[in-house]
Amino acid sequence: MSIGAVLEQLRAEFPDVTISKIRFLESEGLVTPGRSPSGYRRFSTKDCERLRYVLTAQRDFYLPLKIIKEQLDAHDRGEQVEGPAPRAPRTLATVQSSEPADFLARRQTRISRADLIERVGCDESFLRELERSALVSPGKVGYFDEDAIALVSAAKALAEYGFEARHLRAFKTSADREAGLIAQIANPIARGGDSGAAERAAELIRELAALSVAFHTQLVKSAVKDAVR
């Protein structure tokens, strides 16, 4: 298949995938298409399945490309793949996600206040408290998105253990600081001016965000372990 044909196959499940994204994954060694005599890329069915695996692991498990590549290399060697990513089956085509859209599509979803409350199972006062603490807010036209659903759901689960909105402000402050650090690294790349700058910056943000989450998780686990001794 040509790179355009691969793009058409993937876009149904990953609407924001682009040719530059596929080329980026190739440059990182995640896929190695063949070449026609005239030099054009020629992708096999296996190549397309590997790309689908990579995109699913990034979107649903927020794994860095280095970890995904290690998993794929292990699968190629016939080894059992361990970890939070979907296990690599005999045919990577079976690695599917139940979620219908990608990260950007989820952000663009319009969810009313009433729908958010119903889906999360919280009450109006709980949502208002989160808003007063600047933990969640609707968009400019008053709608929420899927990220807000996930955030309010997590806040509700923490509330069941006694966490109040004022306690969760510490998490927000930490997240804002981490986002600022990532932006300092990604912004110069995004402003590069060439056609692939935005794509490279988006990939870098995904990588750094995944690493930041992993690092933050380990810090919290270590701190809690020390605190309860």
Query: What would the pLDDT profile of 33-85 be if each residue is shown by its tens digit?
Result: 999 888 889 999 999 999 999 999 888 877 788 888 888 988 888 887 665 55
Q: Are 206 and 218 in contact (CB under 8 A)?
A: no
Question: How far, in Å, CA of 7 to CA of 15, rounded?
Answer: 10
> Residue 83: what pLDDT?
56
Name the residue with tokens 């253990």: 161
> Are 116 and 127 spatial neighbours (Cβ–Cβ below 8 Å)?
yes
- Rounded to whole angstroms, the Cα distance separating 115 from 103 reads 20
Q: How far is CA 145 from CA 112, 130, 196, in A?
A: 9, 15, 28
pLDDT of residue 31: 93
Q: Are 26 and 48 in contact (CB under 8 A)?
A: no
How far is Cα 108 from Cα 146, in angstroms, rounded to an integer?
Answer: 8
Q: Would you say 21 and 37 are in contact if contact means Cβ atoms under 8 Å apart? A: no
Tens digit of pLDDT at every position of the chain (229 positions): 999 999 999 998 988 888 888 988 998 899 999 998 888 899 999 999 999 999 998 888 777 888 888 889 888 888 876 655 544 433 443 333 333 334 444 445 789 999 999 999 999 999 999 999 999 999 888 899 988 998 999 999 999 889 998 899 999 998 999 999 999 988 888 887 777 778 778 878 877 888 888 888 888 888 888 887 6
User: Cβ neighbours of residue 62 under 8 Å, at least 6 residues apart?
Assistant: 206, 209, 210, 213
Q: How far is CA 130 from the centre of its chain?
A: 24
pLDDT at 18: 86
pTM above 0.85, yes or no: no
CA angle 139, 141, 145 (to 5 degrees): 40
Nearest Cα residue to 209 out of 182, 169, 186? 182
Task: Calculate the CA dihedral of residues 161, 99, 104, 196 and round it to 10 degrees.
Answer: 120
